[in-house]
Structure 1
């Protein structure tokens, strides 16, 4: 079979993978704090005997779009919108530390402060933040969590602790399969960000450009159709060549 079929197949495969990335972005267009996944295709020379004229297509993950999403004011005491290069520290499913900008928080029945995805938020000491029964809650712009205990007046508001909010540039983070960010250099721990780190009563929306993603999806679909057409044409040429060889024999 003509090797061109394999080259066209790598392009079709890369297009399908890119389509899956765009679909994932579109599915999260309404997810608070979501950062659009970036993907690209790079040339991969096919090495071996003969003249090196064949180049395959390889799908590559280029990280995420670090631009800030629009801020939406909600007035909810459990909603926070993080400033640039600030990330909430959460406990990942494997028990490690991960990071997110999803600021639409909630409380579990046992008083644990979690993200919308159910990941426990960590305090400055790296422990899950758990709140005792209370009648009022306030999260300060520096990440401090305060409550008014049950049956007490507003003047008895007590500070329970401070959320762990780290300072990290995009190149210091990598996205995991669970959508959470991890430190690219675990040996160099990310430090607590000083001062004002968030705006309360608001959430950062997804930074996915829905219209742009739809246009990109159409372009990728056309590329895939072209690559499939090349495969079909190559197969037809191979069949025709075999027929001519049999007739010549």
Structure 2
């Protein structure tokens, strides 16, 4: 019976939907996390009677055809790249991007990754790095005798040194944006890499045309909304249950048919 296979595709689709929702809920407190959303499409149809086909020699036509679908498929689990809420911190190396742009991160293998997580720190050499020790691009080194560090909205890093009245610039934080940021590939650890779908990175600085601004002593929270995710979870669960009911009903119908032939 066709309904068995059709309902099975629905159950598999909703199982994946629940997995994506659970990952969103698990990352509700992850800095810079962008929630995922599952997109579905219907599968191929079998045409038993095409709409518009002739029904007589006098050119009468069928107003509506007969089409039987074969289920559903998952086509993507794209990111929703909306802005998360800003939360204030007490760390001078915490940065948040307000608007468009990703931080550039140098991976250990030499690749450049991109992140919205601006929870940075210093390594033993005084270089600005992520929590995993990956260097922020371009490299910025803070002198070990610096008494204070300030980072403005454009990403200019200035320090105050003993005996100097004016601040000294030690670096410039760059941002990157993409034509299709949804096409970025997730690496985990709050990192993305560019793909053919995302297009090449467009480099710039905070406040430039098309780029957001930087905010020191702040971090961007994940854009997961718990109420929406819980509502989506309930809907996915109900859809899964309805598909399982279809399989049960189809199985009972097949059993009844079998018994009729045996009788």
Post-superposition shift, 1:20? 0.9
Q: Is the 8 A contact 1:145 1:162 kept in 2?
A: yes
Give a deviation string over 1:132-175, Cα, whole Å, max 9, x none.
534443333222333456xx346475333222212345x24424
Give the TM-score taking structure 1 as reference length. 0.81
The count of aligned residue pairs is: 239
Distance 1:108 1:241 in 2: 73
Post-superposition shift, 1:23? 0.8
> What SS is found at the alignment partner of 1:219?
helix
Give the TM-score taking structure 2 as reference length. 0.78
Post-superposition shift, 1:241? 2.0
Match runs of 1:182-201 below 5 Å: 182-185=193-196, 188-193=200-205, 195=207, 197-201=213-217
Indicate how the Cα distance of structure 1 residues 113 and 47 shifts in structure 2: closer, same or farther if over 3 A, else same. farther
Distance 1:115 1:15 in 2: 36
Distance 2:3 2:39 in 1: 22
Match runs of 1:63-212 below 5 Å: 63-92=78-107, 95-116=110-131, 118-123=133-138, 128-131=139-142, 133-135=144-146, 136-148=148-160, 152-153=162-163, 155=165, 157-168=167-178, 171-179=180-188, 180-185=191-196, 188-193=200-205, 195=207, 197-212=213-228
Between structure 1 and structure 2, the one with the greater Rg is 2
| Superposed CA RMSD | 2.9
Q: Kindly indicate whether residue 11 of structure 2 is the aligned counterpart of residue 37 of structure 1.
A: no
> What SS is found at the alignment partner of 1:166?
strand
Post-superposition shift, 1:92? 4.3
Indicate how the Cα distance of structure 1 residues 212 and 77 shifts in structure 2: closer, same or farther if over 3 A, else same. same
Instruction: Identify unmatched segments of 5+ residues in structure 2.
Output: 50-65
> What SS is found at the alignment partner of 2:136?
coil
Instruction: Identify unmatched segments of 5+ residues in structure 1.
Output: none
Give a deviation string over 1:3-45, Cα, whole Å, max 9, x none.
2111111111110111111111111111111111121222121
Distance 2:13 2:76 in 1: 11
